[in-house]
Structure 1
Amino acid sequence: MRKIKLGLLGPEVSEICFGSLAVSPLQGRVSMSEGTEVLRYAVASGIDWVDTAEIYDNYEQIAPVLKENHHVRVVSKSYAVTAEQMDKSIEKARRALGRDMIDFFLLHEQESGLTLKGHAEAWDALRKAKEKGIVNYIGISTHAVRGVRDGALQPGLDIIHPLINYAGLGIIDGTLAEMLAALNFASSLGIGIYAMKVFGGGHLGTDPVKALRFIQKLPTVQAMALGMSSKAEIDYNLMVLAGKEPCPELARSISTIKRKLYIADWCQGCGQCVEKCSQKALYLKKNIAEVIRERCILCGYCGRSCPHFCLKIV
């Protein structure tokens, strides 16, 4: 497994970060225990950091692997707005993950300087947590060009976790070229950058080699978080990034995995999922939620907002 340095001042980590959303209850692809085993396999294969978030509700799933492997670093994220909320989010992660110090803690889904301003108290709490040594590196995750550009200027920011793929799918406020320019700007400031949604929420799954190697060749992006819910996916991704040709059987097993957002027929039409979706992939039709599949990036965040448990990635 190739090691990279995450930004100018960041640590050395594996090129792949294990994206635990794919094994979390939020997506429901596998059981909690099955997800733990997939993560164990990833760590045994050389992946030495894992990405999670408070909203994923899977600290319990990750904690056993972290206990067994003290060298594995962890990223978490929070939507906290106030200092009190952020303090609670950090303490929840420390307690549930069994770590005195969280390696990386990010503000979740920041869209621009305006959203960062709205989370100013939470950001100050993050900076204080870093000063106290209970968080090591701080940053943001974002689906937006402005999120990258404005985030790069945020005082004390170490890490940006942006949405980036070769088709520009999922960027909410600009083009692929604009996102690449923003990443170049952030990288020039020494900020560590690791990509998300490399496969465009599954829409780029017909050519996973192209998707992986596009990110690998970007000079401004050091690493990538890959959502993997099976050992076969781990094997495949590691082989491609090592420059090897996966065997036909393995390639076929990966290519047959198709995901979609399922909306149950008991939908009440409350519209909370529509409000939550940053991709504008959901809308109401005759008081029932509908999805525009080409816009959906299969993040699963809409499911968490549904009070009737109608939405799920299958």
Structure 2
Amino acid sequence: MQYHQLGTTGLLVSRLCFGTLTISPLQRSFSIPEGAKLIRAALEMGVNFIDTAEIYDCYPYIREALTGYSGEAVIATKTYAYSGAGMEQSINKCLKAINREYVDIMLLHEQESVYTVKGHWEAVEAMVRAREKGLIRAIGISTHYVAGVRAAASIPEFDVIHPIINKYGIGIQDGLTKDMLEAISFAAIMGKGLYGMKCFGGGHLIPQAEEALDFILSVRELAAVAVGMQCLEEIKYNVAKFSGVEPESDLNEKLSRNKRVLHIEKWCRGCGQCVEKCTAGALKVVEGTAKVDMLRCRLCGYCASVCPEFCIKVI
């Protein structure tokens, strides 16, 4: 496994980061033992970087995976907190849930531009105070926007940026792949630590996994890339690719058939809360039922978090 320094944070992270969204209640909803077992398997294969978020509800998986584990583990989480008090609650919730005295990285979740960051400035100030106290080691944002990367790159308080990036620009909200690459390059020049997300375009590029990974591994400014993994075969395949080793041929063939979709159950009553939550514009209510445009859908599963009927899932 290759390891890189994450900007100027002092954190040494594996180039492959375990993205926990896919095992979370928002997607496959693994039991805690099942999810923890997968994370532990990745750790033992050399993956020392774990990405999660408050909304994913994956802290119990991480806590169990780390129980009895003596190796190094770098944990990044994200929060929608926008006030100082809200951020303090998010930090305390995380530390208690993962049973640690500090969390390595805390990010403002899904920031769009300098304006959204400034609208969350109380939360930023709370993160800075927590960093000074040693409760957080590094702070920053996650974003699907080129403007978000450029904004965070110019904010001295931020250490880390977690941008969406993939070969075909799937999910980038305000530009193309080349635009995001230029923003990432600028952020790296500004000394920010960068780790990418959605290199498979939310699952759309899984049939082209080798091509998608070859592209993302060519983006040298990225210290790491968060990849969602739901089975041992996916972990083994990705560990091989990120280690510069050719994966076993049967793994490639098996995983190329794993195309995911957003499924909406028949009992949907069309309340529209998922439509409001979706920042990709992939959902709308048609004749009293939510419908998805899979060409727009990022398969993030965030819509499922607000569904009062629990009728949305990524399968």
What TM bracket, shorter-length normalisation?
Answer: over 0.9
Q: CA deviation at 1:62?
A: 1.1
Q: Secondary structure at the match of 2:226?
A: strand
Residue 76 of structure 2 aligns to a residue whose secondary structure is strand
- Code of the residue aligned with 1:274 in structure 2: it is V
Looking at structure 2, the residues matched to 162 and 69 of structure 1 have their Cα atoms a distance apart, in angstroms, of 29
Once the two structures are superposed, what CA deviation does each residue of 1:245-268 show, in whole Å capped at 9, x if it has no partner? 222221122112121111011111
Deviation track 1:27-68 (CA, whole Å, cap 9, x = no partner) reads 125333211111110001000021111000111111022232
Structure 1, 23-32 or 189-198: larger mean CA deviation: 23-32
The answer for the alignment partner of 2:251 in structure 1 is 250
The yes-or-no answer on 1:286 pairing with 2:287 is yes
Given that 1:282 and 1:291 are in contact with CA atoms closer than 8 Å, whether structure 2 keeps it comes out as yes
Alignment identity in percent?
46
**In structure 1, distance between residues paired with 2:178 and 2:251:** 33
Unaligned runs of 5+ in 1: none
Q: Structure 1 residues 62-71 or 272-281, which shifts more?
A: 62-71
Partner of 1:31: 31
Distance in 2 between the 1:170 and 1:64 partners? Answer: 32
Give me the whole-angstrom Cα distance separating, in 1, the residues matched to 2:115 and 2:9. 27
Deviates more, 1:83-92 or 1:11-20: 11-20
Query: How many pairs align?
Result: 314
Q: Which whole-Å deviations, capped at 9, do the CAs of 1:160-188 have from their partners, x for residues lacking one?
A: 00000010000011111111111111010
Aligned partner letter, 1:52: T
Q: Does 1:152 find its partner at 2:153?
A: yes
Does the CA-based 8 Å contact 2:204-2:259 persist in structure 1? no
Query: Which residue matches 2:239?
Result: 238
TM-score (norm 1): 0.97
Conservation of the 8 A alpha-carbon contact between 1:29 and 1:313? no
Q: In the aligned structure 2, how far is the partner of 1:98 from the partner of 1:74? A: 12
- Is this contact kept in 2: 1:2–1:14, CA < 8 A? yes
Letter in 2 for 1:311: I
Tell whether the 8 Å contact from 1:102 to 1:136 is kept in structure 2 after alignment.
yes
Question: How much has 1:75 moved relative to structure 2?
Answer: 0.7
Q: How far apart, CA to CA, are the structure 1 residues paired with 2:242 and 2:230? A: 18
Provide the residue aligned with 2:115 in structure 1.
Answer: 114
Amino acid at match of 1:230: C
Cα contact 1:94–1:101 (8 A) shared by 2: yes
CA contact (8 A) 2:107 2:142 kept: yes
C-alpha distance in 1 between matches for 2:278 and 2:122: 24
The Cα offsets for residues 125-157 of structure 1, whole Å up to 9 and x where unpaired, read as 001100111000001000000110011122310
State the partner residue of 1:216: 217
Matched, 1:161 2:167: no
Offset, 1:96: 0.5
One-letter amino acid of the structure 2 residue matched with residue 163 of structure 1: I
User: Who is 1:274 aligned against?
Assistant: 275
Which residue number corresponds to residue 48 of structure 1? 48
- Tell me the amino acid that sits aligned with residue 130 of structure 2: A
**Partners of 1:194 and 1:221 within 8 A in 2:** yes
For the 8 Å contact 2:25–2:56, the answer to whether it is kept is yes
- Whichever residue aligns with residue 103 of structure 2, its letter is I
Q: Is 1:259 matched with 2:238? A: no
Can you list the C-alpha shifts for 1:273-305, whole angstroms capped at 9, x where unaligned?
Answer: 111111111111112110000111110000001
CA contact (8 A) 2:102 2:136 kept: yes
Question: Could you say which residue in structure 2 is the equivalent of 1:73?
Answer: 74
Question: Are the counterparts in 2 of residues 105 and 138 from structure 1 also a CA contact under 8 Å?
Answer: yes
Mapped pair 1:184 → 2:185? yes
The separation in 2 between residues aligned to 1:241 and 1:15, in whole angstroms, is 6
Contact 2:13 2:223 in 1 (8 A): no
What is aligned with 1:137? 138
Is this contact kept in 2: 1:139–1:160, CA < 8 A?
Answer: yes
Counterpart secondary structure, 1:81: coil
Does 1:300 pair with 2:301?
A: yes
SS in 1 for 2:172: coil
Code of the residue aligned with 1:262 in structure 2: it is: H
Q: Distance in 2 between matches of 1:148 and 1:296?
A: 21
Cα distance in 2 for residues equivalent to 1:161 and 1:122: 18
Q: Distance in 2 between matches of 1:248 and 1:124?
A: 49
Structure 1, residues 166-221: CA drift from partner, whole Å, max 9, x if none?
10000011111111111111010110000000100111112111111211111221
